[in-house]
Amino acid sequence: KRLQQAREKGDVPKSQEIPGWFVLASGLVVIALLGPAMARHLTGTLTVFLARPHELSVDPAAALDMISGTAWSVGLSVGFAFLILMGAGLAGHLVQTGLMFSAEKMKPKLSKLNPAEGVKRMLGPQGWANFLKGLGKMSLVALAVFVVIWPKRTELAALPALDVSAILQVVMENAIALFAAALVAYAFVAALDYMYQRQSFMKRNRMSR
C-alpha cells in the first residue's frame, strides 16, 4: 500500500541512465541501418562545398539559395534520426515507470529554492552518489572510446587525404564501433544506477515496524 501511495505521488525507482542507454542503442541502430543511405545523401549534398569549392557561386542570392537548400536537405536527412532518438529516450522512461501522471510532482516546492537545502542535497549521500556515478560513467566511456580509437589513429590521421565519400565511410564505420563500445560501458553504469535508485526508493518507503 505504501509503495502504491508513493507511485501516486510520482515517486518511483527510476534511473536517468537508462534513457541515455536507450538513446545510445537507438543511435547505433540508426547508424548501422540508415547510415549508408544518409552518407550517400550527405556526400551528394556536401561535395560541392568540400571537393569543388571553386564552383560555388559568388552571387549573394544564388549563394543564399544554395545554403538554404543544403540546410534543408541535411535537415531532412538527419531529422528522422533525431525523432528516433527522442522516441528512444521516452521509451527509456516508460519501461521504468509505465504510463504515469502525478500532479504532486508539478507542485512548486519552496525547499528547492533554499540555498542551504541545495547545498545539503549536493553534499549528502545522493549528491556524492551522483558525483561518483558521473565520474565512473565518464571514465568507462572514455576507456571504451580509447580502446576503439587508439588502434585506428593512423587511419584517422590520413582522413584529410581522402575524398568526401571515403571520409564519410570511415567516419560511419568508426562511429558504429564507438557507439557499440560506449553502449557496453553505459549498460554497466545504467544497471548499477538502477539498482542504487531502487534501493534508495525502497529505503525511503520501507514499512515501519
Q: Nearest Cα to 138, choosing from 20, 13, 22?
A: 20
Residues written for the chain: 209
Q: Which amino acid is at 51?
A: A
Alpha carbon distance 70, 47 (integer Å): 11
What pLDDT does residue 71 have?
72
Tell me: the pLDDT tens digits for 84-140?
889 998 998 888 877 766 555 556 665 556 666 666 666 667 777 778 878 888 888
Total tally of structural domains belonging to the chain: 1
Residue 4 resides in a domain: no
Q: Buried b / exposed e across 12-23, counting CB within 10 Å, b at 16+?
A: bbbbebbbbbbb
Alpha carbon distance 134, 125 (integer Å): 14
Residue 147 resides in a domain: yes
Residue 43 resides in a domain: yes
Residue 148 resides in a domain: yes
Task: Note down the domain range covering 134.
Answer: 10-106+124-204
Residue 82 resides in a domain: yes
Q: What is the pLDDT along the chain (209 residues), one digit of tens a residue?
A: 566 666 666 667 788 889 989 998 998 888 888 777 776 666 666 665 655 555 555 566 766 776 676 677 667 767 888 888 899 989 988 888 777 665 555 566 655 566 666 666 666 677 777 788 788 888 887 888 888 888 888 888 888 887 767 887 788 888 888 888 888 888 888 888 888 888 888 887 775 44
